[in-house]
Structure 1
Amino acid sequence: MTSETTRKTRLPEQVRPLGEALDGAAMTRLHILFWLLAGLGILLDGFDFFVIGVANPLISHDFRVSAAQKGLISAAAIVGSVFGAALLGPLGDRIGRRRIFRVDLWMFVVFSLLCACAWDVWSLMAFRFALGVAVGLDYPIAASYLAEILPAKARGRWLVAAFSLQAAGILLGAVAGVVILEVWPHTGSWRILLGFGALPALLIIWLRRRVPESPRWLAQNGREREACEVGRALVGSPVRVSDADRVRQEATPEGLKAFLQPRLFSPRWRRRTIFAAVPWFLMDIATYGVGIFTPTLLASLSLAGANSSFIADDIASTKGTAFLDVFLAVGFALAIVLVDRVGRVPLQLTGFAVMTGALCVLAVAGQLPGGADAHLVLVAVGFGLFNLFMNLGPNSTTFALPAEVFPSEMRTAGHGFAAGCGKLGAALGTFLFPVLLSSVGESALLYGVAGTCALGFVVTYVFRVETRGRSLEELSGAQMAAVAPRVTPP
């Protein structure tokens, strides 16, 4: 009788608060399933990121586009993603993460197919812009959803692992590009390349149909029973919604403020907004500028044949790019291993530093006697180091950090703004890269991009806040908003 009474009195203590239970849970198969389903949308971004670089020379030949128009075609989807992430992303804080998951992929399917049917350069730009809105919308939703369900001790590596699916998308794009160009080496192949993305998107839509809503969002929005059900499924034991789970650090903005999010620039959150957004902006100038035009740059530097056709050059540079993109996967693998051991900030600082040096190596290779043709080893080392440390460092950490440093009620807004700034940098990089490549040359352009990476290092160091090992509740608390940056070795 006594032991039974003791068990009954202890039972309420075992029903832990939702947030505490989620942060302290062990990774389960359900966590991994939800992680995969949320992260698959990022795969599509990687696919589109690579394929447009392969399609660019074909589109340019088919539509006889100028250098400026070529930059606009590449930048159109990225500009659309700025709107999708920064302006529409905050909808995830208002209507939930799950609903957005349903909409953005259908948009991707529709506009991928419309891109394949474009009748001129302007219609292609319009469809690419709309496609970018869908891609940008998925970024803050996926990151916020994952941050809210993952255990604290594993949050960093699983966030980075989700973003690493971008590399899988890039490799998928590389395989699709090589196969399509080898099977049908014609100018019109770009239509198949751009329309192909609808197939994986349809598969992801079907797989995502059973993804539940974020339990933290449910708890803050009065749906406590559902929050406890989802939380129990993830944790494996009963949970309860506590006052800490219900509390909001900020009131829900209404009207135009719900899209413009002025609270991100209030004194309370300004440091975190700068820390989350500016390095991402600077990193994406380099990442998208160099990444999308790697096939073009390789052809310009060393792979263009004197008597070969432009399609043969495109196939050769695509194969070379696919080889160099292996370093992207290695970089992501190292980031997954190190991010919760070393920390986000040290990896970001190291990445920016090595990216700066790698771009300088590429610039020097083009200035040496004989040009890059005579120094292929330097070209391979430069591109390899850039891709490796980009993904080991800022390309991984800038995705994870905004999902951790903002509270739940403004998490998709904060991450969306940071992602939007990143995509704005990407748009600048992709638009200016072909124009500057033709006007100032490879070496001067690469030195300039190296400067943006160096500036990213400085901003990261000045505004750094390390999130490794901290719960979301600790990071979201009022006492943390204005905290001095944790001292982190560079």
Structure 2
Amino acid sequence: MSTTGGEKTAADNTVARLERLPFGRVHLRVASLLGTGTFFDAFDSLVIAVVLTVVINTFQVQLGSAGLLISAAYVGQFIGAISLGALAERYGRRLAFIGSLACFGLLSLAAAFAWSFESLLVLRLLQGIGLGAEVPIAGALFNEFVRGRSRGRAVMMYESIFSWGILLAPLIGLLFFQLFGQELGWRLLFVFGALPVVVAVVAYYKLPESPRWLAERGRTQDAGKVLDEMEADARARGVTLEEPEVKSPADVKPTRFGELFSPAYRRRTALSWVTWFCGYFILYGFSTWLPTLYVKLGGLPTGSALGLTAVVSAIYLVEIYIFALTVDRVGRKPWFVGGFALAVLGGVFGCVAIALGATAWPVLFVAGLLMGLGISPVTAGLYLYTPELYPTRMRAWATATGSSLNRVASTIGPILVGTLLGAGLGLGSVFLAFGLVALVGLAVMAALGIETKQRVLEELAQ
């Protein structure tokens, strides 16, 4: 892409028009479509944790090998985040989002007909390609629609839908098991996870492209159509719009994927990648195993295990809304530093309690709750924070590559849990590992983190 003065002027004007627009009907439509996709991304990612105990029995899988099944989707997600993240910069956020929905929805349907452990492993790996791309691309797209003064609250209210997917996955699983039995129920859960295909069709006709991306690609007329609709909606609701004022000029340059490692951005990239890795190592490494650990080590029935998991997820969801309502005042960095510190405390508590001979399932519940309360705002907030650290020319790419480290962590975490338990090192070693990872995240965020609250994206990108 060549850069001209006209493209810079168009980008500046687009930003100026966007930054005076309150949340309206177009924002709501974008949030609804992206949010529905994000809900199913969470559901399809976590559904394996819900069905794992049943799948282990169906296909006679060893506990150590089960970690491979959990991690398979995350390998695919790494590939999808990198590849579709690059396509989102070249061809637009909208098409990349639609393609990712169609991909993971169709593969969820295929997984319902898996005939062996190996076939389900392959299908989950392929499904991960779509799962890995959807949330970071959607996060970048929605960030580009919302003005700076309220971006934290708006984006996090939208991102809370991911937590709803995590919360409802075990409850929907429990319902399906009760209605259809475990053997049929786990397959029908994958059928339910195929609904994103329908969302992809609706999004093809109803989801607008990012005006920021359009303007920087020289598609001024297309950007103008989206802005005209947003402004007309605001005026129809009685909003008086001031004249557009360019406060933070756009830095319009060609997209260079290696710019992530340039002197201007390498510290931010290090911050982003380490935070993604540490946060999701804890989130997925522990949460995907938790229902199975309740059953295998805690001696609880499957229904009780899923019920406890849902209770904890509900508590996390309340916290996410508190985070959303305060993040534009408190800021991103204090939440992240405090979150990692609480996760360290959870790991220490779990390790010490097991060493003192405490019963497994109460320790799993309390330590898991502490770690989850700490890490949930971090992992959810990264979809707000990472897009704020980079300019439009590489925002989707930077968010996708950052989230690809989440996929690496989500692959290693479950395998490590299975390996530690399979080697007879016990639950205490698992808590120790998570505590140490949280400590690394705490140190890096404290040293490198920057505050982004209430600032225009173009200002932050300088």
Deviations 1:118-152 (A, max 9, x none): 12222211111111110111122111111111011
CA separation in 2, counterparts of 1:194 and 1:183?
15
Larger radius of gyration: 1
CA contact (8 A) 1:219 1:245 kept: no
Q: 2:252 aligns with which of 248, 259, 262?
A: 248
Measure how far apart 1:387 and its partner are.
2.3
**Counterpart position of 2:418:** 434
CA separation in 1, counterparts of 2:63 and 2:296?
15
CA separation in 1, counterparts of 2:354 and 2:107?
39
CA contact (8 A) 1:228 1:238 kept: no
The secondary structure found in structure 1 opposite 2:181 is coil
TM-score, normalised relative to structure 1 = 0.85
Q: Structure 1 pair 473/406, CA: closer, same or farther in 2 (3 Å)?
A: same
1:109-188 to structure 2, matched below 5 A, reads: 109-188=105-184
Measure how far apart 1:189 and its partner are.
3.2
**Counterpart position of 2:263:** 267
Which residues of structure 1 form unaligned runs of 5+? 1-15, 254-260, 306-312, 478-490
Measure how far apart 1:370 and its partner are.
5.0
Q: 1:452 aligns with which of 427, 437, 452?
A: 437
Q: Does 1:411 align with 2:414?
A: no
Measure how far apart 1:368 and its partner are.
2.8
**Counterpart position of 2:213:** 217
The secondary structure found in structure 1 opposite 2:143 is helix
**Counterpart position of 1:483:** none
Measure how far apart 1:436 and its partner are.
1.5
Question: 239-248 or 315-324: which moved more?
Answer: 239-248
CA contact (8 A) 1:228 1:239 kept: no
Q: Structure 1 pair 338/455, CA: closer, same or farther in 2 (3 Å)?
A: same
Measure how far apart 1:79 and its partner are.
1.2
Partner AA of 2:255 in structure 1: T
Partner AA of 2:57 in structure 1: H
Measure how far apart 1:23 and its partner are.
2.1
CA separation in 2, counterparts of 1:186 and 1:215?
47
CA contact (8 A) 1:85 1:139 kept: no
Q: Does 1:54 align with 2:40?
A: no
**Counterpart position of 1:32:** 28
CA separation in 1, counterparts of 2:244 and 2:90?
23
Partner AA of 2:380 in structure 1: S
CA separation in 1, counterparts of 2:224 and 2:305?
53
CA separation in 2, counterparts of 1:96 and 1:150?
17
CA contact (8 A) 2:277 2:406 kept: yes
Partner AA of 1:382 in structure 2: A
**Identity value in percent:** 30
Deviations 1:53-85 (A, max 9, x none): 111111111112233431111111111111111
**Counterpart position of 1:190:** 186
Which residues of structure 2 form unaligned runs of 5+? 1-11, 235-240
CA separation in 1, counterparts of 2:406 and 2:192?
26
CA separation in 1, counterparts of 2:212 and 2:259?
21
Measure how far apart 1:86 and its partner are.
2.0
CA separation in 2, counterparts of 1:168 and 1:177?
14
**Counterpart position of 2:406:** 422
Q: Structure 1 pair 292/468, CA: closer, same or farther in 2 (3 Å)?
A: same
**Counterpart position of 2:349:** 361
**Counterpart position of 1:78:** 74
Measure how far apart 1:93 and its partner are.
0.9
Partner AA of 2:109 in structure 1: L
Partner AA of 1:268 in structure 2: A
Measure how far apart 1:362 and its partner are.
2.5
Q: Structure 1 pair 164/437, CA: closer, same or farther in 2 (3 Å)?
A: farther
Measure how far apart 1:300 and its partner are.
4.0
Partner AA of 1:465 in structure 2: I
CA separation in 1, counterparts of 2:87 and 2:203?
23
Measure how far apart 1:38 and its partner are.
1.8
The secondary structure found in structure 1 opposite 2:252 is coil
RMSD over aligned CA atoms reads 2.3
Measure how far apart 1:31 and its partner are.
1.5
Question: 428-437 or 351-360: which moved more?
Answer: 428-437
1:74-113 to structure 2, matched below 5 A, reads: 74-113=70-109
Measure how far apart 1:403 and its partner are.
0.8
